[in-house]
Each structure stands twice: as structure tokens, then as C-alpha cells.
């Protein structure tokens, strides 16, 4: 482990607003470098973990001698999602971000690296590239393990499936065992629910706007920093939207709407997209929180409070940014920078901290 501290050092690549770092930091890891080119996301990261080690720039602009040694590298390049039939060559221009990732691993020589990616990652050519590099290429010293993990199984109040890859040159590391389950056992606690995460948050936000506040990061002005309660703002739905929300019970969605409230595309598409215009359930984890969680027509994002015989006990709105951040397992006192849309993107793109912490805890004891 690095000499200056007994806390293992880590580099976060494609760090976003720092969801993954939250989990590793909570388990005693020490961030020494974060790379993120989106200025709003990098500002949020810097607001919470310090600007000294946060680099708001394209990963490609890093010179080799700027890359420090580290015990662990976390974060993976966003997947372009091109099919298995695509080129597996590191030199394919579409693989340029993976090439950067491999360069950081080669120079920083971490004992372990952790990649988080979409559920179907193991079916992409980016994944094949990793396997080939581990077989006889740049990663030949590393053993790879991978699995799709469900965030809810690790204490996150959300059913978010993600592929996790662990690369280790200190012996193969299997993926951590679930700590939570839908049906609890002696070893597994019950899934955390929407009620656990947001049950205490005010049902009626008092504003529809972010406060007029600006701060400076990376030598430019940016909106923020905002506390959690400052991103608890409502929206101004049309009367038609309100009428739609009113018809949707917990667990329901677009199929609960009467014909006159259906949009043309919903009327024509009789099957699939079952989550859209969906309402959460209080006593279950939410479904995946994506970057457009503020649009009910994009998923199951309506607030869970709804009573059949009591229209006065219905909360007819989509979840707020604050509620989404809590379902994504961010701390209540996390600081946020950027516009409404930029903050939503940061939240939806993040790795829930509970999942990251479970992985961090699991690998920490194996570092030398």
C-alpha cells in the first residue's frame, strides 16, 4: 500500500459527480486523482472531495508523467454500445477511451481496478477487448472477474442492475456476495425501500427553481453549490399531465390511463415500455433512476404517495432531484453544482454509493 498513508490510494477515471468515490471514500480509500471532462459534474466532485486532485479535462490530454501510482483505479469508460461484431482492436478509433483506461492501468499499476458499466456490457466488443488484454496483452498480470450485480442486493433502495468487473494482480477477487435480499434470510437483510430513502422528505416542495447562487470551479462561474434541500424543487405540469398522474396507482403506469389520456404513441404501442408514467411503491426499491427521472413519461418516477379512496392523500408529482439523489444513495448533505438538467444527468449516471462501498469493503482486505 502507498507509503504516505495506511489508507489505500485511488484514482477515479470518468468520475462524474463522484458516486463511486463516495462509496470508496466511506470505506477508507483516499482519492488522489479524479478525471472528468464535464464541468458541472467535475465541480460537484470537487465541491465534495476537494479541487486539488480533480481534473476537469479530457482524459486524452493527460501526459504519462502526470499519472501517479495508485493502489486502486475505479470507474470505466462510458460504453459506446457497439455490437460484438465491431473491431476488437485497441487501435480502433471507437476504442479510444478504453485505450486511455488501459494506459492509466499500465502507468499507475494499481493492485486492483474496478469497472462499472451497463448490464449488457459483457456482450460488447469493449468487454472482449478487456478479456483479450488480460489473456496476453497489457493486462496479462491481472485476473478478471465479472458479474451483473443488482444494487438492491447491496443495501441500495433501487433495482439497478450493473456489470462490475474486478481486475486484480494480487490474486483473483470474486464479486462480493449480496448483503440484502427481496426475501431476507439469516445472512441477508431485507431490501431497502423507497420509504426508507425518501419517506421523511417533504411531500410538497415550496419552489420550482434552483436558488440564484453561483460559485467558481476551474476558473469559471457555475451554479451552486446547492444543498440537498435546495434541489428539492417541484415542476409545473400541465393540467393534462396532472390528470394522467391521478390515474396511476403505486406500481401502475401508462396502462392505467383511460383512452382519452393516452398519447398517440402509447395508443399505437400496446405492449412494452411498461415502466413509463409509472408510480413507485413505498415498500419496494425503486426501478433504475436514469438521467431523465424528472420526466414521468420516461419511467417509473411518480412519487409513491397515492390512496385509492383519498384523492387528497395523493402526491401528484414526479420525484424531485433531491429524492432521486437519495434513491441513488447519495448522502443527505451532498453538494451539487450545475443547472437542473446537468444535476439530473450527474445523479442518473452515478454508481449508487452503497454498491460501490460493498465492492470497496470487499477488495480492501485483499490489498497488500
First to last CA, the chain: 6
Whether residue 66 contacts residue 364, with contact meaning beta carbons closer than 8 Å, is answered with no
**Interatomic CA distance for residues 149 and 77, integer angstroms:** 18
**354 interacts with ligand SAM by CB under 6 A:** no
- Considering only residues 35, 130, 344, 363, which one is a binding residue for ligand SAM as defined by CB under 6 A? 35
**Interatomic CA distance for residues 223 and 17, integer angstroms:** 14
**Interatomic CA distance for residues 117 and 120, integer angstroms:** 8
Q: Measured from the CB of residue 64, what is the shortest distance to ligand SAM in angstroms? A: 16
Q: How, if at all, do strands 143-150 and 161-168 pair? A: antiparallel
- Nearest CB to ligand SAM, comparing residues 234 and 348: 348
**14 interacts with ligand SAM by CB under 6 A:** yes
Q: Measured from the CB of residue 16, what is the shortest distance to ligand SAM in angstroms? A: 3
Catalytic choice (17, 79, 265, 337):
79
Stretch that binds ligand SAM, among 169-177, 224-232, 310-318, 348-356 (CB under 6 A): 348-356
**173 interacts with ligand SAM by CB under 6 A:** no
**Interatomic CA distance for residues 309 and 286, integer angstroms:** 24
- Considering only residues 75, 157, 176, 296, which one is a binding residue for ligand SAM as defined by CB under 6 A? 75
**Is 56 an active-site residue?**
no
Site for ligand SAM in 44-73 (CB under 6 A): 58-59
Site for ligand SAM in 80-119 (CB under 6 A): 97
Q: Which residues contact 45 (CB under 8 A, 6 or more apart)?
A: 12, 15, 16, 17, 18, 21, 34, 36, 54
**36 interacts with ligand SAM by CB under 6 A:** yes
All cell numbers assigned to 95 = 476504442
**156 interacts with ligand SAM by CB under 6 A:** no
**289 interacts with ligand SAM by CB under 6 A:** no
- Nearest CB to ligand SAM, comparing residues 61 and 145: 61
- Considering only residues 34, 41, 144, 164, which one is a binding residue for ligand SAM as defined by CB under 6 A? 41
**Interatomic CA distance for residues 109 and 111, integer angstroms:** 7
- Considering only residues 20, 102, 343, 363, which one is a binding residue for ligand SAM as defined by CB under 6 A? 20
All cell numbers assigned to 362 = 470487499
All cell numbers assigned to 8 = 489505500
- φ and ψ at residue 308, rounded to 5 degrees: -55, -50
Q: Measured from the CB of residue 160, what is the shortest distance to ligand SAM in angstroms? A: 12
Whether residue 45 contacts residue 17, with contact meaning beta carbons closer than 8 Å, is answered with yes
**Catalytic residue IDs:** 79
Instruction: Name the residues that contact ligand SAM, by CB under 6 A.
Output: 14-20, 35-38, 41, 58-59, 75, 78, 97, 349-351
Amino acid at each position: 500500500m502507498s507509503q504516505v498513508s495506511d489508507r489505500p490510494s485511488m484514482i477515479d477515471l470518468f468520475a462524474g459527480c463522484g458516486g463511486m468515490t463516495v462509496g470508496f471514500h466511506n470505506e477508507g480509500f483516499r482519492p488522489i486523482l479524479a478525471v472528468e471532462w464535464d464541468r458541472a459534474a467535475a465541480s460537484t466532485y470537487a465541491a465534495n472531495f476537494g479541487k486539488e486532485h480533480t481534473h476537469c479535462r479530457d482524459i486524452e490530454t493527460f501526459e504519462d508523467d502526470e499519472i501517479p501510482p495508485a493502489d486502486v483505479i475505479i470507474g470505466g469508460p462510458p460504453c459506446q454500445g457497439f455490437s460484438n461484431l465491431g473491431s476488437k482492436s485497441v487501435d480502433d478509433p471507437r476504442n479510444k477511451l478504453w485505450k486511455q483506461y488501459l494506459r492509466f492501468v499500465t502507468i499507475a499499476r494499481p493492485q486492483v481496478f474496478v469497472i462499472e458499466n451497463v448490464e449488457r456490457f459483457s456482450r460488447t466488443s469493449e468487454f472482449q477487448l478487456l478479456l483479450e488484454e488480460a489473456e496476453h496483452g497489457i493486462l496479462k498480470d491481472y485476473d478478471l472477474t465479472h458479474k451483473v450485480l443488482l444494487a438492491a442486493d447491496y443495501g441500495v433502495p433501487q433495482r439497478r442492475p450493473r456489470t462490475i468487473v474486478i481486475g486484480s494482480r494480487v490474486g483473483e477477487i470474486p464479486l462480493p456476495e449480496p448483503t440484502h435480499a427481496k426475501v431476507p434470510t439469516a445472512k441477508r437483510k431485507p431490501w431497502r425501500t423507497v420509504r426508507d430513502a425518501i419517506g421523511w422528505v417533504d411531500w410538497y416542495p415550496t419552489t420550482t427553481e434552483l436558488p440564484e447562487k453561483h460559485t467558481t470551479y476551474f476558473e469559471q462561474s457555475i451554479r451552486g453549490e446547492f444543498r440537498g434541500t435546495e434541489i428539492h424543487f417541484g415542476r409545473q405540469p400541465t393540467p393534462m399531465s396532472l390528470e394522467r398522474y391521478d390515474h396511476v396507482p403505486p406500481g401502475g403506469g401508462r396502462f392505467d390511463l383511460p383512452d382519452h389520456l393516452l398519447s398517440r404513441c402509447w395508443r399505437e404501442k400496446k405492449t412494452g415500455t411498461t415502466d413509463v408514467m409509472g408510480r413507485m411503491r413505498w415498500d419496494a426499491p425503486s426501478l433504475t433512476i436514469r438521467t431523465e427521472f424528472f420526466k414521468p413519461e420516461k419511467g417509473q418516477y411518480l412519487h409513491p404517495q397515492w390512496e385509492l379512496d383519498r384523492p387528497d392523500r395523493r402526491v401528484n408529482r414526479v420525484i424531485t432531484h433531491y429524492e432521486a439523489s437519495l434513491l441513488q444513495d447519495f448522502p443527505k448533505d451532498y453538494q451539487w453544482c450545475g443547472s437542473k438538467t446537468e444535476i439530473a444527468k450527474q445523479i442518473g449516471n452515478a454508481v449508487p454509493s452503497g454498491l460501490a462501498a460493498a465492492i470497496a469493503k470487499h477488495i480492501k482486505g485483499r490489498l497488500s
